């Protein structure tokens, strides 16, 4: 079976700093992969490259076996199969919650407004935000906005969901509701790649943890192995710094 996502030798340079330096990563169907590592280790950049928001400087990325980093491929068609959720939510402030969610189904996937709305309401009900359907994003708490952003990505039924530090901008008491939603998605079999600073969350939800350093994956494996018994000195050092003093 081909992997849902396959990155080979991915290189990305910003100015004089090499952010991704020949990175390899494969993600199987229904697998949840957590990317951990210090700020600037390239976690977010990798996700943006996969969603074709950044151009590669070398290497290839395949989605379901087809080469998506070929410049002749229409990026709009690729992005329809990939959902991404950002640290800063990036909801559209001029649209209501419901319109935020139904924009892509109606405009991109050409579905009828009524069926898109029905599906959006069903998803909102599932995450307990049906009463906010007609509210504007600035009336919602950070946790609520991020859950709406996740639903907005899900409504397109993506093959792959990318989560970029989705809890980093949230107050501690709001983190739980977002993490619960992601755990639900894992139960539903969603294939996900998430960049995170929350080691406990990585432990809970990830099938595999990858530690990034210097633009490569230095160490990877099941959470219990990478987080509790790291082999590489750099992983040990990173985790030691995170541990409460």
Partner 1 sequence: MTRSDTAFTPSAVQLDRVAWRRRQTIRSILVAALSTAVLGALLVFAVTGAPGWDRVRQSFLDPSIAADALPDVLRGLWLNIRLLVFCALGSLGLGLVIALLRTLRGPVFFPVRALAVSYTYTFRGLPLIIVIYVLTLGVPGLRLQGMPSVLVLGGAALVLTYSGYLAEVFRAGIESVHPSQVAAARSLGLTYRQAMRHVVLPQAVRRVAPPLLNDTVALQKDVGLVSLAGPIDAVRAAQISTAEHFNYTPYIVAGVLFVLLAIPLIAVTDWVTLRAARRQAGR
Interface residues toward partner 1, by CB under 8 A: 51, 53, 75-77, 79-80, 82-84, 86, 88, 90-94, 103-104, 107-109, 138, 152-153, 156
> Which is closer to partner 1, CB of 75 or CB of 221?
75
CB of 89: closest distance to partner 1 in angstroms? 9
Angular region, 191: left φ>0, alpha ψ -120 to 50, beta rest: beta
> Which is closer to partner 1, CB of 33 or CB of 52?
52
> What are the backbone angles phi and psi of residue 211, rounded to the nearest 5°?
-95, 120
> Which is closer to partner 1, CB of 86 or CB of 211?
86
> Which is closer to partner 1, CB of 150 or CB of 218?
150
Cα(31)–Cα(220) distance, rounded to whole angstroms? 14
> Which is closer to partner 1, CB of 41 or CB of 51?
51
Residues 6 or more apart whose CB falls under 8 angstroms from that of 13 comprise: 19, 57
Is residue 138 helix, strand or coil? helix
20, HSE (Cβ side, Cα atoms, 13 Å): 26
CB of 21: closest distance to partner 1 in angstroms? 24
CB of 90: closest distance to partner 1 in angstroms? 4
CB of 230: closest distance to partner 1 in angstroms? 33
The structure tokens listed for 133 are 């359907």
CB of 234: closest distance to partner 1 in angstroms? 31
Number of residues in the chain? 245
CA-angle at 76, arms to 70 and 78, nearest 5°: 55
């Amino acid at each position: 079976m081909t992997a849902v996502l396959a990155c080979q030798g991915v290189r990305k340079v910003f100015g004089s700093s090499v952010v991704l330096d020949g990175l390899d990563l494969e993600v199987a169907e229904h697998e949840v992969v957590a990317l951990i590592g210090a700020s600037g280790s390239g976690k977010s950049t990798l996700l943006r490259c996969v969603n074709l928001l950044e151009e590669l400087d070398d290497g290839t990325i395949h989605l379901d076996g087809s080469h998506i980093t070929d410049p002749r491929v229409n990026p709009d068609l690729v992005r329809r199969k990939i959902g991404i959720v950002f640290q800063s939510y990036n909801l559209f402030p001029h649209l209501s919650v419901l319109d935020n969610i139904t924009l892509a189904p109606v405009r991109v996937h050409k579905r009828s407004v009524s069926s898109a709305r029905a599906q959006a309401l069903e998803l909102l009900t599932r995450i307990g935000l049906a009463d906010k359907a007609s509210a504007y994003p600035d009336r919602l708490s950070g946790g609520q906005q991020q859950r709406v952003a996740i639903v907005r990505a899900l409504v397109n039924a993506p093959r792959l969901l990318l989560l970029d530090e989705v809890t980093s901008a949230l107050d501690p008491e709001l983190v739980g509701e977002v993490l619960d939603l992601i755990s639900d998605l894992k139960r539903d079999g969603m294939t996900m790649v998430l960049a995170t600073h929350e080691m406990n969350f990585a432990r809970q939800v990830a099938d595999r943890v990858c530690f990034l350093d210097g633009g490569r994956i230095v160490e990877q494996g099941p959470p219990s192995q990478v987080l509790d018994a790291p082999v590489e000195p750099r992983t040990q050092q990173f985790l030691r710094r995170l541990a409460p003093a």
